[in-house]
Amino acid sequence: MEFVVHLFDNPNASWVITGCLLLGLSSGVLGCFALFKKYSLMGDAVAHAALPGICLAYMLYGTKSIGLFMIGASLAGLLGALCIGQISAHTKIKPDTAMAVILTGFFGIGIVLLTKISQSGNASQSGLDAFLFGKAASLVGIDVQVISVVAFILLAVTFFLFKELKLLCFDPQFGKGIGLPMGALNTLLMLMIVLAVVIGLQAVGVVLMAAMLIIPSVAARYWTEKLNYMVILSGTFGALSGILGTILSALTPNLPTGPVIVLAATFMFFLSLLFAPERGLLAKLLRHLKLRKKIVLENILQSLYDLSEKDYVKGKSPHTGYTIAQMKHLRPHHQTDIEKGLHDLRKQGLVVNTTESSKNNWSLSERGLQVAYSITLNDRLYEMLLMNQAQYGSIQVDQEKGRIQDQVSEQTLHELQGLLSDYNRKPQLIPQLAYKFDKKFRDYYEGAPSKGGDV
C-alpha cells in the first residue's frame, strides 16, 4: 500500500497512470458503439493501419515528435478505415474479409518501413519500437496532455450525440427516415474510433490496442441491457484496467505496462463472464439447476397424480402408495433425483409415506393433490393446444410464464375444456376445496386455482 501511495506521489508515474486511465476510459466508451455497430475488428485494423503513418511521419520529420506521429497515425488509420468501407460497399467482399486485407496489407507496409528505419542507424532515437507493443513508461507530460485533450473531445462528442449514435447502432433506417445524416454519423464514429486507437498506440501498442477498445465493452455487456449503463460500465472497466495495469507493472521490474493493462481488462472480462447476475455462467448454472429441480418435482407430482387417477377410475383407493419404479416408468429420471425430489416434497407437505416399514411407497397428501391437479390440468390443456395447432396455432402461450388458463381467452378455454372431454384427458381425480384459502399452498402455487376448471 505504501508503494502505491509513493507511486502516486511520483510525477512520472502520475503522468503514466493518468494517461492510461484516460485511454481506458475513452476506449471503453467508444468500444460500446463499435461492438453494436459490428466494428469489433475495426479497431484492430485501424491500429495496424496506423503503423505506416507513424513511420512515414518519422521519415519525413527525421526525429520523434508525438504530435506528428499522431497526425500520421490518424491519417493512415482513417485511410485504412475508408478503404475498408469502400471495399465493403462496392465489391462483394464481406466487411470482415476487407478488414483482414487492410489490416495485413497496411501492417506489412509498416513493418517494411520500420525495417528501413532500423537499417538507417537512427532507430534508437526514433522510439518507434514502442508503437509495436506499447511502452506506457515512456509517456511524458506532453503525451498525456495530448491524450487528455483527445479523450475529452471524444467523451464530449459521445455525450452530446449519444441518441444519434444509439440510432446509428440499432436502427439507422429509422434515423435516416427522420432526417438524421446517418452516413456522416457513421464516418464520425469511424473517425472517433481511429482517434481512440491512435492515442493508445504509444501506451498499449499497435498489436494490443484493439483489446482496449473491445474487452471493456464486452465485459460491460454482461452486466446490463441498457446502452447508457453499459457505456458507463465499459468506461469504468477501461479506466480501472489502465490504473490496475500500470500499478501491477510498476510493482514488477521489467514488466511491460501495455500488455498488463490488457491482461487487467481480460481479468475483468472473465469476472463478468462468471459472475454477472443475468448473463454470467454462474447465474445460468443456478437457473438451470433450479429449473431442473422444478421439472423433477412437477414430474413426480404428475406421476403420482396419474397413478392415483388410474386407481380412482378403477374404483380403487388413490392413497395406497406407489413405488419409485412406477414413477420412473411414467417419467424417467435418475433414481437419486427422484429420491431427493420426494424428500423435498415431503418437507413441503405435498407427499407422504404410505407404508411405515418401507420408504419406497409414496402418495399425494391433500395439499399435494391440489398442486398435482393444477399441474396436470395445465399440462393437458397445453397438450390440447399442441394437438390442435391448425385451430390454435396463432395463440402464443409459454408454460414457463404461468398457467395456460391465464394466457388464453374464456372462449378458447371453454373450447379446450371440451377437447379434454372429447379426448378423455380431463383430470378425473378432483381435490377437495379445503385448501383453497391455504396460505402455504398459495405461496407454493401462486394464486388459488379458480379458472378453467381448476378447483
Type and span of the H or E element at 283: helix 281-313
pLDDT tens digit sequence for 168-200: 999 988 988 888 888 889 888 888 888 888 888
Closest CA to 212 of 74, 8, 20, 436: 20
Contacts of 121 (CB under 8 A, 6+ apart): none
Give yes or no for residue 236 having a pLDDT over 80. yes
Helices assigned H by DSSP within 321-431: 324-330, 335-347, 366-387, 389-392, 410-422
Stated pTM of the model:
0.77
Grade residue 256 by pLDDT with cuts at 50, 70 and 90: confident
Query: What long-range pairs does 403-409 form, CB within 8 A, spacing at least 24?
Result: 403/374, 403/378, 403/449, 403/451, 403/452, 403/454, 404/378, 404/452, 405/377, 405/378, 405/381, 405/449, 405/451, 405/452, 405/453, 405/454, 406/451
Query: SS in 3 state form for 222-279?
Result: CCCCCHHHHHHHHHHHHHHHHHHHHHHHHHCCCCCHHHHHHHHHHHHHHHHHHHCCCC
Contact between 436 and 367 (Cβ < 8 Å): no
- Which range of 53-67, 155-169, 191-205, 323-337 scores highest in mean pLDDT? It is 155-169
* Site of grid cell 380431463: 426
Cα–Cα distance measured from residue 72 to residue 382, given in angstroms and rounded to the nearest whole number: 66
pLDDT at position 416 over 90: no
User: H or E element: which one contains 363?
Assistant: strand 362-364
> Any bridge partners for residue 353, and if so which?
362
pLDDT value at position 163?
92
Q: Helix axis angle, 162-170 relative to 11-36, nearest 10°? A: 40
pLDDT, tens digit, 9 for 90 and up, residues 385-400: 888 888 887 877 777 7
Question: What's the N-to-C CA distance of the chain in angstroms?
Answer: 67
